[in-house]
Structure 1
């Protein structure tokens, strides 16, 4: 005979502490923990990131080919005349926009995996699809975020950079807290504003790491990309907290023997 006992608890911050700024966000501690998570889950997490990258590249080139039928001629013209054909930059922008929106549910799945690592849980590659159950809301929140950033970029690029930081937790809020898209964007913005200086430093360092990784023929991205996702997961945990569930199974063998088995899951 076995009985299951379930208990929910919160790891890290809360929505209230995030909005009040009462959460810890040490730059050095975030980086150290993110690196530890990256090394610990490297072989189980990297395949999911590679799958996401392949998916995004495929979507990008499909979207680009639908607008520019002969990409090689574009590069030939660039090499011969030093000019880019009219409309090509717009095609690049649309292709970039397309891959970010279409792949958003899978991006969310990778973010959820990294968040689980920040909570001390293990994941499997198939969990890259865990964001698909929130597809509509994830695409909606991604669309709004990208549109606002695009408009801000036309006015003043620095505002667009700020919005990319301000909205960085919105997708996880939709998936983990089940917050509506507009509320998720607002909650993320308000929480980030409380410690915008630390967050700006963190993402500036990440950008520097991306550039350094590209200098080594992109090989460094195998470490920088999982590190980036783990940083996002740790920031989210410290800000808003992660809901977890402990399931304890009591198994009775005979009159006196009893075995307890406890497991922790994302709630």
Structure 2
């Protein structure tokens, strides 16, 4: 019986740090759209869970502090920001599961909604790297350019913590060093997705102003059901091409039980 072996797909850390990788914006978008057409359900269900969990945390935090989320006063902005930060950190391990769905799909591994819970054992490091990244992006908002720089440069830190098993600070340094070589192309990808989101909101605004708010929300939700998975597939393709990923190629006996050629184990 042959032993299981690790197979690397895509790039690797050494080449990433040397800038030995290429990003084709059009090719990434085409592949991400293909994956979106093939599989939307797992990511959408994962995001839906994270959305409701965030809402529950925000409501619980606001109720505890006696804040009205709908009509909060100016003096409540600081507590609301704190609640939002806490919610972001607490939900981060589940969002990490969604991010890994995007990566696994683009390397040919079947994904399921329950993967949103699959990486909780790394939750402390995921929460910490998310907190640091959020603070850097927030501090950068004083000047818009630093905020954009950190948003793009730190966009792959979570899978680095999970898949490469590096510390939060190592992930941040590694991500900034590696992404700087193709920063503008990566920025272009996120810009296209942001513009798509903006265009998607226009019919919703028009329909709402015409008294068809429910129809507008339905149109917006339908659009998001495509755009959200595509966003995570774009990130998955970027991670694959820049850092690569090691998966476990199992032997014939394992194939009979798992039903696929490659298994990932973080």
Q: How far off is 1:90 after superposition? A: 2.3
Matched, 1:246 2:249: yes
Q: How far off is 1:204 after superposition? A: 0.9
The answer to whether the 8 A contact 1:55-1:103 is kept is yes
Q: How far off is 1:63 after superposition? A: 2.9
The answer to whether the 8 A contact 2:59-2:69 is kept is no
Identify the residue that residue 222 of structure 1 maps to in structure 2: 225
Q: Secondary structure of 2:11's match?
A: coil
Identify the residue that residue 120 of structure 1 maps to in structure 2: 108
Identify the residue that residue 70 of structure 1 maps to in structure 2: 68
Counterpart-to-counterpart distance in 2, 1:51 and 1:230: 19
Tell me which of 3, 7, 10 is aligned to 1:9.
Answer: 7
Across the aligned residues of Structure 1 and Structure 2, the Cα RMSD in angstroms comes to: 2.0
Structure 2, unmatched stretches of 5+, are: 205-216
Counterpart-to-counterpart distance in 2, 1:210 and 1:61: 26
Question: What is the TM-score when the length of structure 1 is the normalising length?
Answer: 0.85
> 1:112-159: per-residue Cα shift (whole Å, max 9, x none)?
1111001011111111012201011111111111122222223x1220
1:250/1:109 CA distance change after superposition, 3 Å = closer
Identify the residue that residue 263 of structure 1 maps to in structure 2: 261
Counterpart-to-counterpart distance in 1, 2:65 and 2:200: 30
Tell me which of 83, 87, 90 is aligned to 2:75.
Answer: 87
Q: Secondary structure of 2:22's match?
A: coil
Q: How far off is 1:186 after superposition? A: 0.5
The answer to whether the 8 A contact 1:61-1:95 is kept is no
Identify the residue that residue 182 of structure 1 maps to in structure 2: 169
How many residue pairs match? The answer is 245
Which has the larger share of strand? Answer: 1
> 1:65-102: per-residue Cα shift (whole Å, max 9, x none)?
4445334554xxxxxxxxxx222332332232122111
Question: What is the TM-score when the length of structure 2 is the normalising length?
Answer: 0.85
Which has the larger share of helix? Answer: 2
Structure 1, unmatched stretches of 5+, are: 75-84, 252-260
Counterpart-to-counterpart distance in 2, 1:123 and 1:180: 26
1:71/1:248 CA distance change after superposition, 3 Å = closer
